[in-house]
Amino acid sequence: MKPLTKRLLNLALIIGTFVIVLIIGFQDNNLADTVRTLTKISIPSVVICVALYLAYVGCDCVSVWYFLRRQGYKISLPYVYFTSIAGQYYSNITPGATGGQPMQIYYLHQRGIPAGVATSALITRFFSFQFMLFVLGTVAWATHYDYVKGEFGDWYWALIVGYVWNVLVCGMLLTFSFFRPAVRWIVNLVLKLGAKLHLIKNPDKTGEKWMRSVDSFHNSMRDILKRPVDMVIQLLIGGIQLFVLMCILWFIYQDIGNGQGRFTQIVTLDVLEYTSAAYTPLPGASGAQELMFTQVFSGVFGGDNIFPAQLLWRFFTYYISLVLGLVAVTTVGLRSGKSLREVASIRDEVEAQKGNDQQAEPRGEAAEN
């Protein structure tokens, strides 16, 4: 399937899911009532929600920037912030969030960061977020057990599945990050299958390039083990990133909720709702997030307000990333003389780009701009 066809299908899936959500929502909600409820959210709340999302992206940026700085690569903070916005955009328009990291790796590589090192930075950031999701989710679940079970109701099983999946993801990330034989085994397996299916023309040459990136990746990961304080800082950033994202719903709740929930209860439900639906493979977990939100928060917002609350929450945590990301990648594409189509197609060439890193490239300074 051609890259452009894939992107069009992903876009159609996102739009289609949104339309289905609207159709289902308006079956039980009057349009005028929904609009009336949406207008109840105050301008200060809107500003705060946007600021919280930008802070969420900012944590992503700081995590990557700090990792690269500690590895000896100087790169400007604004540029890394752009790569984080672009990463969120491509993650949210591709199934399983598969497009975000390759695009971030590409953009970082454009500033002299080897693909293996860039991959290490993104894996560290992702692990930190997932690990803190596990830690904070566990604490929140344990301290609000009865409340959580009551609000999830018949969908309590989805929380258990999501929780187990998150634990498995953290375990796999640790294995791939620090157990080199496991990664080499997977690379060799992919090479053999690719050669048999005639997808890889020169497996020896391709394998050599891939192994160089694997070595670069593991060297970077070993370095962070030598500096445990750095790992603690990354985990703190991941915790803050998760917290600011979860706070968005609180400010929506302040304006259109039933007023009976405490801050810790709303954040607890939001963390666990995220856990229960984030593993679904659709772009932005579309459909699953809306379904779980309706099931979990119907008692918190009430039947009349749950649909407007879902629209606001989804906009400030998902659709805003599509708007900002589209503006960012289009602007950079125009500045570089490339069309949006050309910029987007780079994602499909990143794997080939990874193999071009030097086998033993000394740590130096990447461009500051």
pLDDT at 301: 87
Instruction: Evaluate the CA torsion angle 206, 207, 212, 213 in order and state its sign.
Output: positive
The C-alpha atoms of residue 151 and residue 154 are separated, in whole angstroms, by 9
Q: Which residue has the tokens 């570089």?
A: 336
CA 270: distance to chain centroid?
16
Exposure string (b/e) for 67-90, b if CB count within 10 Å is 16 or more? Answer: bbebbebebeeebbbbbbbbbbbb
Q: What is the mean pLDDT of the chain?
A: 78
pLDDT at 360 (0 to 100): 40
Residue with tokens 């959580």, as numbered in its chain:
148
pTM: 0.76
For residue 228, count CB atoms less than 10 angstroms from its CB and return exposed for 0-12, middle for 13-18, buried for 19 or more.
exposed
Domain boundary assignment for the chain: 41-354
pLDDT below 70 — which residues of the chain?
1-32, 95-99, 177-178, 199, 209-210, 212-218, 220-221, 281-287, 333-369
